[in-house]
Structure 1
Amino acid sequence: MTFASSDPSENDSEPFVESDPTGRYGRYDELLGSGSVKKVYRAFDQEEGIEVAWNQVKLRCFVDDPAMIERLFSEVRLLKSLNNGNIIKLYKVWRDEKNSILNFITEICTSGNLREYRKKHRHVSMRALKKWSKQILRGLVYLHTHKPCIIHRDLNCSNVFVNGNIGQVKIGDLGLAAIVGDNHIAHSVLGTPEFMAPEFYNENYTETVDIYAYGLCVLELVSLEIPYSECDSIPKIVKRVSSGIKPEALDKVRDGEAKTFIMKCIGNPMARPSAAELLRDPFFDGIDDDDEQE
């Protein structure tokens, strides 16, 4: 005979709205974020006793776009193979055939994305900005030296996530990433226009497009302005980028050292340093690795 629990604390527990097929992960109704492709909910790993993120993609939205579905599966396969302290970890993935939904569980970053976090905390020292920037670079070094090389292709502050209590940042949203061969060359035109390097439009580029985007991430962190926000349309952004016109936000950077560092990142692709070289840049002098959280 089964008796109902008399423990009154159970009535206070937050209910799961669904669980994964194994029963290990339970999803709450709280939406953490929503994008053009997926929704992310707060969830709980009952085996480890930790909160996680439950990512949910309705595949029926892309029934006429098999390339998009393949891209989503590519993100999941890619995430599953990665293991780095500055890259979002993937724990589990499964497909709900009945409801045509792709589900995957990732680690949760408690403070959301870096763009919103920076907007919320406007008074931040240059030292703190350098710590965040250095951690993003560490993630890029991992991706770019991975065998085979991985180009993120959509790096921007909304795709970097924060654990604010320990000052930790991690690169996420690898849905547009490209795995390239030994020549490190990719060809598709994909990404967020404000952060896309000029050579993207020639459809012949390498991982240095991530360095360009990274430089603009640093610019956004320092200036509190999204690059090319002076443009009111995507065609205008594309025209300025293709013409080599730098974003107006660069003129608002008063710190000479930061401006020099950003210019290194967004210069001629042949002259751009690698992520590993940038880690050794004088810009990070005094920012020790033991400051970083793994």
Structure 2
Amino acid sequence: GIRCAAKTLNLPVHLGDQKETKTKNIDAAVESERNLCRLRHPNIVRFLHIAQPEPATVVVFMELLDGPSLERFIDNQPLDEPKIRDFSEQICRALLYLHSRQPPVIHRDINCSNIIVCANNSRIKLIDFGLSIRLEQIVSRHSSFPEAPKGTLNFMAPELLGIAASECEQYSRESDIWAFGCSVFQMASGTEPFSKVKSFWEMARHLERSGAPALPDGRSAELRDFYSRCTARDRRERKSAQELLEHEFLARKSNSQR
């Protein structure tokens, strides 16, 4: 009796894969992702059930949210700084909750199309936790055809593209923070970062050469510094969600509400 959204994930199966091994690993991955159904936070979509009708098919049931994506809300027009501050604080609080779980929950696909603006444009919620990315990583790890990193290209951290000092090329809390920084860029500029880049290799070259794009003119020093702390090329230099919540750009909102 609950209206919900359902998303079906069809995982790629290649000839030559060890079926028994792959099925076992997919089953284990799906079981671990059922932890998403235990998440309870005002800025995170409710996961209601994860079903696996077939070994390579997963269906995710989530609460149905009424509102546009942040990308549609922006609609190619920059947001003012109070709105950027408000939305950024909510996203940071959601990330702090996820990243503080044991084990940490990594979103893996933060971008403005995976953030819903609801409750009279005052509350945002993260959706679509990159479950397909996680499961395809499991598939590729046991496949004779390994694939390039999955995700939204313009929001992928340098280390996922093999750039910058990093001991691994996997999704992490730091890669979530980078993607959040890219969402801040879109809120501040009205456009995606590297909006004209279309290929994996072209994106890698851009990031290696110049890192994250600069915010447009007219933005405050506090916002610029906040953005730079999300998008350090070396992931070890990026700030955590907790540290970002204590940053002057977001602290200004808390001070104004006292």
User: Does TM, normalized by the shorter one, top 0.5?
Assistant: yes
Cα distance change, pair 192–288 in 1 and its aligned pair in 2 (3 A):
same
C-alpha separation in 1, matches of 2:102 and 2:29: 21
- Any gaps of 5 or more consecutive residues in structure 1? 1-23, 25-44, 46-51, 179-187
**Which region of structure 1 is more displaced relative to structure 2, 61-70 or 139-148?**
61-70
C-alpha separation in 1, matches of 2:243 and 2:193: 24
C-alpha separation in 1, matches of 2:91 and 2:254: 14
Contact 2:93 2:245 in 1 (8 A): yes
Q: CA deviation at 1:74?
A: 6.0
Q: CA deviation at 1:233?
A: 3.0
Q: CA deviation at 1:139?
A: 0.8
Please report the TM-score for the alignment, with normalisation by the length of structure 2: 0.74
Cα distance change, pair 132–232 in 1 and its aligned pair in 2 (3 A):
same
112, 115, 140: which one pairs with 1:157? 112
C-alpha offsets along residues 121-166 of structure 1, whole Å, 9 cap, x if unaligned?
x474311121111111111101111001122222111111221515
Higher fraction of strand:
1
225, 231, 249: which one pairs with 1:266? 231
Contact 2:78 2:186 in 1 (8 A): no
C-alpha separation in 1, matches of 2:250 and 2:84: 10
Q: CA deviation at 1:94?
A: 3.8
Other structure's SS at 1:230 match:
coil
C-alpha separation in 2, matches of 1:83 and 1:139: 10
C-alpha separation in 1, matches of 2:256 and 2:50: 33
> Percent identity, aligned pairs only?
26
Cα distance change, pair 260–177 in 1 and its aligned pair in 2 (3 A):
farther
C-alpha separation in 2, matches of 1:74 and 1:240: 38
1:197 maps onto 2:157 in alignment: yes
Q: CA deviation at 1:232?
A: 4.0
1:168 maps onto 2:128 in alignment: no
Please report the TM-score for the alignment, with normalisation by the length of structure 1: 0.66
User: Whose Rg is larger?
Assistant: 1
**What is the count of residue pairs matched by the alignment?**
227
Higher relative contact order (CA 8 A, sep 6+): 2
Matched residue type, 2:229: K
Contact 1:223 1:253 in 2 (8 A): no
Other structure's SS at 1:150 match:
coil
Higher fraction of helix:
2
Contact 2:79 2:187 in 1 (8 A): no
Q: CA deviation at 1:290?
A: 11
Calculate the aligned-residue CA RMSD, in Å: 3.2
Matched residue type, 1:82: L
Contact 1:220 1:227 in 2 (8 A): yes
- In structure 1, the partner of 2:140 is none
Other structure's SS at 1:285 match:
helix
1:119 maps onto 2:75 in alignment: yes
Other structure's SS at 1:151 match:
coil
Matched residue type, 2:47: L
Q: CA deviation at 1:217?
A: 0.7
